[in-house]
Amino acid sequence: MLWHDLRIAFRSIRQNPFIAVLIVAVIAVGIGTSVVAITLYHTKAGNPIWWKNDVLFRVMLDSRPAPHEADVSQHPEYPPFTLIYRDAAALYQSKIPAHSALMLVAYGPVGTQNPASRPLNRPGRLTTRDFFSMFDVPFLYGHAWSKSDDEGSSQVVVISRYLSERLFGAVNSVGQTLIFSGQTFKVIGVIDKWTPLPRFYDVGRAFMPSDDLFIPFHWVESLSNLHFPGFCARTQTSVTTFKELAPSECIFVGLWVELSSTAQFREYRQFLDNYAREQQQARRFERPLNNRLANVSTWLEMNDVVGSQSKFQVILALIFLAICILNTLGLLLAKFMSGAPLAGLRRALGATRGDVMRQHLVEVIVLGAVAGAVGIGLAILGLRLVRIYFFWQSNKPGDSPEFAAVAQSLSHLDARMILISVGLSLLAGLAAGIYPAWRIGRMAPATFLKIQ
């Protein structure tokens, strides 16, 4: 029976190939456009560490001075996203979280000991050892540093695969030494390609090239040439060197904790509030208790990582898909109506309503499937164009493969997206096809036979 239906469908398509091509083209363009928009959105909106979404938390303390009437920030209810150094250091001491990591990032020159080599200006992240286990960072060679390295027992560094290849070539560089911002560090580990997008742990650099060096936080004091974006709410000034930041009341340090159970979360929450209360009593914190532990998705949302621009584009693309579906509905209606005499003849010869309807539905599904395939092709083409456009606009091809990785994933069609587009085309085909098929099935056969 299915075979018979398919044969009828193909004959009907052949009879009016122009309309068939139009239908396929319209749905395909609609699907292609939506898939491109959704992919771009998905890359930005995606949670790159969804499997740990409910155990990783960004720690925020409301250390701001009493509100000033001219507070112009968009979300005055949010506590500052970074911490004052002395608070961060105190909170980091807590034994409640399974893991915790302090972090800071700064660009600095990195090179080898060979005086002839040109240093590169790369981002270095000062952090603590739990960073690697918390965020499931894959190692290519070597390993993370030890607890005693956290306290400064040796000057070690973990570097990215990209930096390792740039400095030492495609070899295992563990044991080599490099110079970062005037200090010598021994390579202890090399991480494999790791480009979580958006870079959830540092949303300020959510779509920027990856971190290339990871250095024990301890060494922030000796790396005196690095500059950090510190802001002092009390004096409304910014301060940038660690020497001045460390004793100040300026915010600049990030803190992430891993809390693996509800009990742990509650205990830590209590600890945080107690700490803030102590500071209130000491008159350091002037605002009512407003501490937050944001999980990854909340954190991304607070930082507005997904541009409203891409939301807008997705909405537009979906409206466009709706227009395409309406269009196809009209086309199918016209197509089926022009083939109605044949359907009437079939009915007269004994085909039931269900038969006629099914035959037309099969035709719709065939058209929908072709349109879906063409649509995915169009989406791939569109995404490739986006990538070309990205590089063409950024003027900086290929210096950093991580930059390429950003472009790559911005325009990468993964299995999930293909599934979405197949789903979309099925839905589109059904939405456009059910009514015409039902209508043609319902017609009294005599209506058509009369004219002949």
Partner 1 sequence: MGPLLLAAQVALSMVILANVAYVVSIRLEHTSRPTGLDLENIFWISSEGRGPSYSQQTTVQFDLEYLNLLPGVLAACAASSIPQTFDAQETTVSGDAEFKERRDVLLYQMTERSIDTLGLRLVQGRAYLKDTVAPAPSGTDTGVLFGQEVVVTAALAGKLFGSNEAAIGKSLYFSMAKGRSAVIVGVVELMQAAPFFLPGTNFVNEIVLVPAVPSGPRALYLVRTKPGFRDQIMSRVVKEFESLQPDRYVNAVESLADTASEARAADRASAVVLAVLASFVLSVTMLGLFGFAAFAVTSRTREIGTRRAIGATRTDILKQFLMENWLITTAGVIVGSVLTLAFALQLSMLLELPRLPMVFLVGSMALVWAAGLLAALMPALRGAHVPPAVATRAA
| Binding-site ranges for partner 1 (CB under 8 A) | 22, 26, 29-30, 33, 70, 72-74, 109, 111, 118-119, 121, 182, 225, 227, 235-241, 243-244, 304, 308-309, 311-313, 316-317, 319-320, 322-324, 326-327, 329-331, 333-334, 337-338, 389-390, 393-395, 435, 439, 451
Residue 191 or 223: which CB sits closer to partner 1?
Answer: 223
Residue 174 or 305: which CB sits closer to partner 1?
Answer: 305
Q: Shortest gap between Cβ of 338 and partner 1 (angstroms)?
A: 8
**How far is Cα of residue 313 from the mean position of the Cα atoms in its chain?**
16
CA distance 320 to 337: 26
Q: Shortest gap between Cβ of 424 and partner 1 (angstroms)?
A: 16
Q: Shortest gap between Cβ of 133 and partner 1 (angstroms)?
A: 33
Q: Shortest gap between Cβ of 10 and partner 1 (angstroms)?
A: 22
Q: What are φ and ψ of residue 398, in 5° steps?
A: 60, 10
* Rounded alpha-carbon distances, angstroms, from residue 353 to 334, 345, 358, 360: 19, 12, 8, 11
- Enter the tokens of residue 95: 């034994």
Place of tokens 């300020």: 204
Q: Shortest gap between Cβ of 435 and partner 1 (angstroms)?
A: 8
Q: In terms of C-beta density within 10 A (0-12 exposed, 13-18 middle, 19 or more buried), how is residue 307 classed?
A: middle
CA distance 325 to 319: 10
Residue 29 or 144: which CB sits closer to partner 1?
Answer: 29
**Residue pair 119/181 in contact by the 8 Å Cβ criterion:** no
Q: Shortest gap between Cβ of 111 and partner 1 (angstroms)?
A: 8
* Rounded alpha-carbon distances, angstroms, from residue 264 to 97, 258, 267, 351: 7, 9, 5, 68
Q: Shortest gap between Cβ of 205 and partner 1 (angstroms)?
A: 12
CA distance 359 to 328: 18
Q: Shortest gap between Cβ of 172 and partner 1 (angstroms)?
A: 27
Residue 139 or 438: which CB sits closer to partner 1?
Answer: 438
Q: Shortest gap between Cβ of 369 and partner 1 (angstroms)?
A: 20
Residue 281 or 308: which CB sits closer to partner 1?
Answer: 308
Q: Shortest gap between Cβ of 64 and partner 1 (angstroms)?
A: 14
Residue 190 or 306: which CB sits closer to partner 1?
Answer: 306
**At 377, which amino acid appears?**
G
**Residue pair 414/46 in contact by the 8 Å Cβ criterion:** no
3-state secondary structure of 68: coil
Place of tokens 């939405």: 431
Residue 190 or 376: which CB sits closer to partner 1?
Answer: 376
What are the helix (H) ranges across 16-126?
Answer: 17-45, 85-92
Residue 70 or 282: which CB sits closer to partner 1?
Answer: 70
* Rounded alpha-carbon distances, angstroms, from residue 161 to 131, 141, 210, 251: 17, 9, 11, 31
* Rounded alpha-carbon distances, angstroms, from residue 251 to 83, 85, 240, 254: 5, 7, 11, 9
Torsion of CA 360, 364, 366, 369, to 10 degrees: -160
Residue 144 or 332: which CB sits closer to partner 1?
Answer: 332
Residue 236 or 262: which CB sits closer to partner 1?
Answer: 236
Q: Shortest gap between Cβ of 403 and partner 1 (angstroms)?
A: 13
Q: Which DSSP state fits 414?
A: -
Residue 172 or 309: which CB sits closer to partner 1?
Answer: 309
Which phi-psi region, left, alpha or beta, contains residue 181 (left: φ > 0; alpha: ψ -120 to 50)? left
